[in-house]
Structure 1
Amino acid sequence: MGWYTNVIRLLGHQRWFATVGRRLVPVDRWLQQRTRGRVNILGRIALPTLLLTTTGRKSGHPRTVPLIYAPDGDSFVVTASNWGQENHPAWSSNLLARADAVVALPGGREIPVHATLAEGAERDRVWPLVTKMWPAYDTYVVRSGRAVRVFVLTPNRAPSSGRPGPG
């Protein structure tokens, strides 16, 4: 990892950084969508990021959020840390209501996925994968006072329309 990535990872533990990051999510989402994932709010850093599109559990509309992920074979592991806030992020509740979603990777490649909430031994296995990518997740768990949801996003093997539909 380069020095820039290491500095960003250290700053990730700071409360002010999480506050700023949370407020910049809409800008980050817009930037990643416009650059097909090649650039995010922090520039081109060595953290793997994706855009996750879920189906709103109440609205039925597509909802997209930028996330850091850890690769796990063909799957993607993401955390619902919500920057260390006390509440779970809406996108994680959307996945619990409807597990089918779409991942967009840098370059614009879209992959239909099925989300599984990692629990027990599976959660214990994948947690080190995500904290290796973003060590601040451990800080977010302490700060939030809740069990942070962890999802494994497994690519669907069946053809899909590319976007999650109403559930």
Structure 2
Amino acid sequence: MSDQRPRKRKPTGSLSLWFQRRVNIRTTRRIRRKGGRWMGMDLLILHTVGRRSGQPRETPISWFADGEDAWLLVASGGGNRNPDWHHNLTAHPDRVAIELPGRGTIPVTPRHLEGADRDRAWRLVTTAQPRYAKYQRKSGRVYPVIRLTPR
């Protein structure tokens, strides 16, 4: 006789989610130890609050300067969906901060860019890192661009 009970299976992507979390932890440590430059990109640590859990979250992410005291983020999320940090930022925009090497933690106000503002910011991003234009062409959605300014 064979066992007909359904097997318990891990949700799809649980290994990749675990791996991504481990990479984020290591990258965050690296930014704090050695500074925020990796693979030709500037990195910062984005501080958000989980939209469902309410727990603090730290996400290393590439950023692009938009003037002297503003930062642009692209919510590419691997192409197919918005990343978790974007959902957290949208749910709790009043509880967002960034951590920059040498500048400490800065409370910021996020603003989703649209229309001409997004087009201008997108040109800045793709001029600095043409790979984002390539990623965007492969995706079936328009990547959100967020401008952060000090609160």
TM-score range, shorter chain: 0.7 to 0.9
How far apart are the structure 1 equivalents of 2:31 and 2:102?
Answer: 8
Size of the aligned set, in residue pairs, is: 132
- Matched with 2:10 is none
- 1:5-154 to 2 correspondences below 5 Å: 23=19, 26-33=22-29, 35-36=31-32, 38-39=34-35, 44-73=38-67, 74-84=69-79, 86-100=80-94, 101-107=96-102, 109-154=104-149
| CA 139–46 in structure 1, closer or farther in 2 if over 3 Å, else same | closer
- Aligned-pair RMSD on alpha carbons? 2.3
1:26 is displaced (CA, Å) by 3.2
More relative contact order, 1 or 2 (CA 8 Å, 6+ apart): 1
How far apart are the structure 2 equivalents of 1:35 and 1:68?
Answer: 11
Unpaired runs of 5+ in structure 2? Answer: 1-15
Unpaired runs of 5+ in structure 1? Answer: 1-19, 157-167
The code of the aligned residue for 1:71 comes to A
Q: Give 3-state SS (helix, strand or coil) of 1:36's partner.
A: helix
* Contact 2:63–2:73 (8 Å) recurs in 1: yes
* Contact 1:81–1:149 (8 Å) recurs in 2: yes
Q: Select the structure of larger CA radius of gyration.
A: 2
Q: TM-score scaled to structure 1, two decimals?
A: 0.69
Q: TM-score scaled to structure 2, two decimals?
A: 0.76
How far apart are the structure 1 equivalents of 2:120 and 2:53?
Answer: 34
* Percent of matched pairs sharing the same residue: 39
Structure 1, residues 56-109: CA drift from partner, whole Å, max 9, x if none? 11111111111111111201000001132x111111111111213111112361
1:142 is displaced (CA, Å) by 2.1
The code of the aligned residue for 1:50 comes to L
